[in-house]
Structure 1
Amino acid sequence: MRGHDRINTCLPDELLVEIFRRLDSKPSRDACSLVCKRWLNLERLSRSTLRIGASGSPDHFVKLITRCFVNVRTVHVDERLSLPAQLGRRFGSESFRPSPKLRYVKEKAGSEDSEFETSYISDAGLTVLGEGFSKLEKLSLIWCNNVSSMGLVSIAQKCRSLKSLDLQGCYVGDPGLAAVGECCRQLEDLNLRFCEGLSDKGMVELALGCGKSLKSLGVAACAKITDISLEAVGSHCKSLETLSLDSEYISNKGLLAVAKGCPLLKVLKLHSVNVTDEALAAVGTGCSLLELLALYSLQRFTDKGLQAIGNGCKKLKNLTLSDCYFLSDKGLEAIATGCKELTHLEVNGCHNIGTMGLESIGKSCQQLTELALLFCQKIGNNALLEVGRGCKLLQALHLVDCSGIGDEGICGIARGCRKLKKLHIRRCYEIGNKGIVAIGEYCKSLMDLSLRFCDRVGDEALVAIGQGCSLQHLNVSGCHQIGDAGIIAIARGCPQLSYLDVSVLQNLGDMAMAELGEGCPLLKEILLSHCRQITDVGISHLVKNCTLLESCHMVYCPGITAAGVATMVSGCANMKKVLVEKWKVSQRTKRRAGPVISYLCMDL
């Protein structure tokens, strides 16, 4: 019956709260909160996650939100993000939407002439947070400069159900970490990256307190955390599954303790100049459940260590080798022989790994789904031919500065890896039309193609792609042989295209823009910088039907004037960012869409 409120009459509070929790769309939840006061209050009860940025007074916002949202379990505080003051009154939203800010001005405490309130959450704010959200399970404090051990002690004492704690960039000390160990006996995930105030004393007390529950630990740039801390982790954290270490103060002694004491370790990310084959051998022997291994800049690490990993870690699925100069084909062959379940492999800057090593991967690792080869000058076409023959499940291939790989290798991938969805190539100057034409002919599932600064790729390649694939993302920046014909083929063959980068294409003109406007109505982001032939006419054709556009870069386009900028801004209601030279923005456009405009050069 019209005018009769059947929902509020029949449905109990508990059912409405559950309905609100199951709504995936944030705008839908916000709309529900505006129906009536009852729905507003119940919708607040359904909120479990809050995000708080900087600016204004975060401590004040904390006081307000703790009164409105009583069932919050997760709080993210990130002081790299700003919080517009007007959002302080919008308590119906789950997160206060932030906008990026590189640096904030911190006013001196107690200054009478200060125009702005401090934009950093303090220990007092953390105290209020702990009192208001005593059931808190996840807390992230990212680069919170004013937070000290005092605030962390308050959180630890009041939020004893805490399971995840991220302190990245916070200058907290040992007393705070010790309190976490003593009070938060359910803690599973701890991130201490860039926590320069911590030392071994705090880490040891943490391991003694909550070592039994700890499953994930991250440490980076903590000069006072040494092998002593890792020995404590190895002794008390028997359930540890993930360890990320980036430190020049960690050596074999610490990692040996972890390898012997943490048999459940599944993820190990290591960046340390002091670790040698001895430590990696211990990981291979003691961590048989290891699934992900990432090794960065290990200058004293050789094939012997990688062979130990291949012999012992049979469940390894994801391997990253970056700037490990003393590795050769023998090490990669050991991985191929021992780790048959490998699905992801990245080789970056390991200059002694060549064709033979990757051939062994192609022959033995049939489950491989993603392969990245960066700055691998010794890897040639035969390697990719073997990958094409053996890795039929490959879905993503990344190639950067691989001078030995050309069309022959890409054709091998195209013929063998028919499930390929993503192909990213940058500065591989031996790859031309032939290889990309083969991709268009055989890889019908391709959705993401990036060909950056590939001098030999032209319109013929994109015609084949347009006829054979339905791309969603395309980047051909710097491919100077591509012109209107290639982009027109994409526009006609890829109606699902949402991202396009055609920067530095000197032969691209308005005809291609008109075709994109007609054929790609879902386009959201386009980069046109350094395209000298595109004019205001092309921009008008583009925005006519591409009404979903959100971002456009068009600096150094002499044919685009202030009128073209105005057309772009006025024709796209969803526009969030237009990057352009400042002198091309008229006063009217600035008044109409000032927050949307980004300038190439800011006034100093």
Structure 2
Amino acid sequence: MRGSDLINTKLPVDLLACIFFRLADSKSDCDAFSLVCRRWLSVDRSFRLTIRLGSSGPADQLVSLLVRRFSGLRNVYIDERLPVSPARRMFSPLRSRSVIQHLISPRFFYEKKSLNLLLQKRRHASLTVDAHHLIRNTEIEESGFPDFCLTDVGLSSIATGCKALQKLRLIWCSNLTSTGLRSIAENCKFLKSLDLEGCYIGDQGLIAIGQYCKLQDLNLRLCEGLTDTGLVSLTQQCGRSLKSLGIAVCAWITDVSLESVASHCSCLETLSLDSEMVMNKGLILVAQGCRSLKGLKLLCINITDEALEAVGSFCSSLELLALYNFQRFTDRGLSAIGSGCKNLRGLTLSDCYYISDLGLESVAHGCPKLTRLEINGCHHIETFGVEAIGKSCPELQELALLYCPRIRNSALLEISRGCLHLQDLDLVDCSNIDDDGLCSIAKGCKNLKKLHIRRCYQVGDQGVISIGGNCRSLTDLSLRFCDGVGDEALIAIGKGCPLQHLNVSGCHQITNVGITAIARGCQDLVCLDISVLQNLGDIALAELGKGCPMLREIVLSHCRLISDVGLAHLVKGCTRLEACHMVYCPSVTSSGIATVISGCPGLKKLLVEKGKVSERTKRRASGVLSYLCVDL
């Protein structure tokens, strides 16, 4: 019956909360839920678990307001590298739905109050001006840049308002000190995960965390104020609960800390090290003391074969190993991994100059459960090593061969014969791979979902046509700067593959015909990069407008034949567009730019040359405009 509230009179609050928790993974759904009525808004405030904040106004006041509004927060993520969400035309009566969606955003509670004050001062301001832009500029004028950085005051607000806090991420919050972190430690006894990337936190803050909290995950990246004293104390206090530890570019953390980790963190499962101060001794001790280790990522120039042999001997549960920029270990160390880590599922070898086919063959024979392999810039690895993977690792699902000029088609042939479950293939600068290798993959690995190829100049139409005819699950295809690929390849892809992502940047043989085939055959296309296509014109954009209504991102840069007419056809059908790049398109004018902005209400980013944007467009959409070149 009209006017009757049949839901609220029947459903108790705890049942409404259960419904809300089922929506918790989607912020937009939670926001919509809270708009139904005051009761549902109250449920949202009580049971919303997570907030994420960028750099937005005086941070301390904003954080204080948010923790009072949302009393049930468990996860707080603050990243001062990120700007506020793009502009919304908050006061236009034609944008009522966008206004509502913005009102329920956590940042709006601050922005609304600040904006009212600003409008009193700036009554001449346009009604379509970005709220955050006004707030930010005015506050900078009045009190300076530091007001935008979270300080210990804001951190204390989180501590007192979020007693049940479990996860805290503070990314590049450079004004925080140990005092703020101590307040978190004393008040948030349930804290399990702490990320302090780029924060200048001292030892005393970390010592307090160890005293009061039973951490499970700790990330210390670019924490220049920490020394062995802080980390040693923390591991002594809560080492038994610690399962994940990341240390990167902390100049004062040495093997002394790793010795403490080895002694007290017997349940450690994941360790990430990026340090010039870590030597063999530290890693050997960790291998001996943390035998439950499952994930190990290393960028340590002083580690040698001796340390990797210890990992192979003691860490039999290891599932993920990533080695970056190693110049002091050889096949001997990798062979030890193959001999001892039978459960290895993921292996990354990046710029490991002294690894050859022999080491990779040892991994292939010793680690048959391998599902992911990435080889990046290891120039001594040739065809034989990858062939061994194809013969011995039938569960392989992801293969990335990056900057591997010595690998030939026979390697892909063995992969196609032995790795029938392959879903992800990435080839970059593999100059000896051609259509024959790609055809073998297409015929043997029919479950392929993602194929990225870049600067493989011998790959042409035949290989891609074979992919289109055999790989019916392919949703992500990238063929960047593959000069041999033309329209015939895209016609086959359009007929056979349900693409959602396509990148054909720099494939000069592709014309309107190929993109038309994609537009007519791939209606679920979401992201498209057709930059640097010299023979592409407005016809292709018109077809995309007709056939791809789900398109959200498009890159049109360096397409000299595209004009305002094509853009008008594109935005007529692709109304969900959120990002568009179109620099160095000489036939696009300020009129075309205005057409894109007016035709795409959800647009978040438009990259153009500054000189092409009219003053009216700047006023209407300053928050979504990005410029390749700015005035000096």
SS across alignment from 2:8: helix
Alignment-derived partner of residue 123 in structure 2: none
- In terms of mean alpha carbon deviation, does 506-515 or 578-587 score higher? 578-587
Aligned equivalent of 2:204, options 175, 189, 203: 175
Q: Distance in 2 between matches of 1:315 and 1:250?
A: 26
Alignment-derived partner of residue 527 in structure 2: 499
Contact 1:234 1:261 in 2 (8 A): yes
Q: Distance in 1 between matches of 2:108 and 2:299?
A: 35
Correspondence list, 1:300-379, <5 A: 300-379=328-407
User: How much has 1:115 moved relative to structure 2?
Assistant: 5.5
Alignment-derived partner of residue 62 in structure 1: 63
**Match for 2:73: what amino acid?**
V
Correspondence list, 1:470-489, <5 A: 470-489=498-517
Alignment-derived partner of residue 602 in structure 1: 630
Contact 2:62 2:107 in 1 (8 A): no
Contact 1:83 1:96 in 2 (8 A): no
Taking every aligned residue pair, what percent have the same amino acid on both sides?
Answer: 62
User: How much has 1:113 moved relative to structure 2?
Assistant: 6.1
**Match for 2:569: what amino acid?**
H
CA gap 1:221/1:391 in 2 versus in 1, 3 angstroms: same
Alignment-derived partner of residue 314 in structure 2: 286
**Match for 2:79: what amino acid?**
D
SS across alignment from 2:51: strand
Correspondence list, 1:429-468, <5 A: 429-468=457-496
SS across alignment from 1:377: coil
Q: Distance in 2 between matches of 1:265 and 1:295?
A: 15
Q: Distance in 2 between matches of 1:495 and 1:250?
A: 52
**Match for 2:180: what amino acid?**
G
- The alignment yields a C-alpha RMSD, in angstroms, of 2.4
Q: Distance in 1 between matches of 2:59 and 2:428?
A: 43
Alignment-derived partner of residue 157 in structure 2: 128
Q: Distance in 2 between matches of 1:38 and 1:557?
A: 52
Q: Distance in 2 between matches of 1:10 and 1:221?
A: 57
CA gap 1:272/1:415 in 2 versus in 1, 3 angstroms: same
User: How much has 1:81 moved relative to structure 2?
Assistant: 2.2
Q: Distance in 1 between matches of 2:335 and 2:51?
A: 46
**Match for 1:560: what amino acid?**
V
Contact 1:68 1:91 in 2 (8 A): no
**Match for 1:135: what amino acid?**
A
Q: Distance in 1 between matches of 2:499 and 2:535?
A: 22
Correspondence list, 1:417-428, <5 A: 417-428=445-456
SS across alignment from 1:45: helix
Aligned equivalent of 2:221, options 174, 180, 193: 193
Establish whether residue 119 from structure 1 lines up as the match of residue 148 from structure 2: yes
**Match for 1:543: what amino acid?**
V
- In terms of mean alpha carbon deviation, does 241-250 or 22-31 score higher? 22-31
CA gap 1:201/1:33 in 2 versus in 1, 3 angstroms: same
User: How much has 1:7 moved relative to structure 2?
Assistant: 2.7
Contact 1:106 1:118 in 2 (8 A): no
Q: Distance in 2 between matches of 1:107 and 1:563?
A: 31
Aligned equivalent of 2:547, options 512, 519, 541: 519
Establish whether residue 23 from structure 1 lines up as the match of residue 11 from structure 2: no
Q: Distance in 2 between matches of 1:227 and 1:578?
A: 48
Alignment-derived partner of residue 536 in structure 1: 564
CA gap 1:105/1:522 in 2 versus in 1, 3 angstroms: closer
Correspondence list, 1:234-253, <5 A: 234-253=262-281
User: How much has 1:2 moved relative to structure 2?
Assistant: 3.1
Establish whether residue 48 from structure 1 lines up as the match of residue 49 from structure 2: yes
Establish whether residue 32 from structure 1 lines up as the match of residue 61 from structure 2: no
1:194-252 Cα shifts (integer Å, max 9, x gaps): 10111111111011000000000000000110001001000000000000000010011
CA gap 1:112/1:95 in 2 versus in 1, 3 angstroms: closer
Alignment-derived partner of residue 5 in structure 1: 5
Q: Distance in 2 between matches of 1:164 and 1:361?
A: 37
Alignment-derived partner of residue 140 in structure 1: 169
Q: Distance in 1 between matches of 2:55 and 2:604?
A: 21
CA gap 1:79/1:490 in 2 versus in 1, 3 angstroms: same
**Match for 1:20: what amino acid?**
F
**Match for 2:157: what amino acid?**
V
After TM superposition, the score normalised by the length of structure 1 is 0.95
Contact 1:50 1:95 in 2 (8 A): no
Q: Distance in 2 between matches of 1:374 and 1:31?
A: 44
**Match for 2:38: what amino acid?**
K
**Match for 1:298: what amino acid?**
F
- In terms of mean alpha carbon deviation, does 575-584 or 15-24 score higher? 15-24
Q: Distance in 2 between matches of 1:45 and 1:158?
A: 19
User: How much has 1:339 moved relative to structure 2?
Assistant: 0.4
1:311-347 Cα shifts (integer Å, max 9, x gaps): 1101100000000000000000001001000000000
SS across alignment from 1:10: coil
- In terms of mean alpha carbon deviation, does 389-398 or 89-98 score higher? 89-98
Contact 1:120 1:144 in 2 (8 A): yes
Contact 1:244 1:270 in 2 (8 A): yes
1:144-170 Cα shifts (integer Å, max 9, x gaps): 111111111111111111100011111
User: How much has 1:594 moved relative to structure 2?
Assistant: 2.6
Correspondence list, 1:257-268, <5 A: 257-268=285-296
Contact 1:47 1:94 in 2 (8 A): no
Greater relative contact order, per chain length (Cα 8 Å cut-off, separation 6+): 2
User: How much has 1:55 moved relative to structure 2?
Assistant: 3.5
User: How much has 1:112 moved relative to structure 2?
Assistant: 11
Q: Distance in 2 between matches of 1:225 and 1:315?
A: 30
User: How much has 1:589 moved relative to structure 2?
Assistant: 2.4
Q: Distance in 2 between matches of 1:72 and 1:397?
A: 40
Aligned equivalent of 2:183, options 134, 154, 157: 154
Aligned length: 597
Correspondence list, 1:267-278, <5 A: 267-278=295-306
SS across alignment from 1:279: helix
Q: Distance in 1 between matches of 2:64 and 2:606?
A: 37
CA gap 1:468/1:112 in 2 versus in 1, 3 angstroms: closer
User: How much has 1:107 moved relative to structure 2?
Assistant: 12
Alignment-derived partner of residue 203 in structure 1: 231
**Match for 1:173: what amino acid?**
G
- In terms of mean alpha carbon deviation, does 286-295 or 588-597 score higher? 588-597
**Match for 2:11: what amino acid?**
L
1:468-494 Cα shifts (integer Å, max 9, x gaps): 212111101011111111111111211
- In terms of mean alpha carbon deviation, does 8-17 or 282-291 score higher? 8-17
User: How much has 1:117 moved relative to structure 2?
Assistant: 6.4
Q: Distance in 1 between matches of 2:201 and 2:601?
A: 45
**Match for 1:56: what amino acid?**
G
User: How much has 1:15 moved relative to structure 2?
Assistant: 2.0
Contact 1:107 1:116 in 2 (8 A): no
- In terms of mean alpha carbon deviation, does 194-203 or 10-19 score higher? 10-19
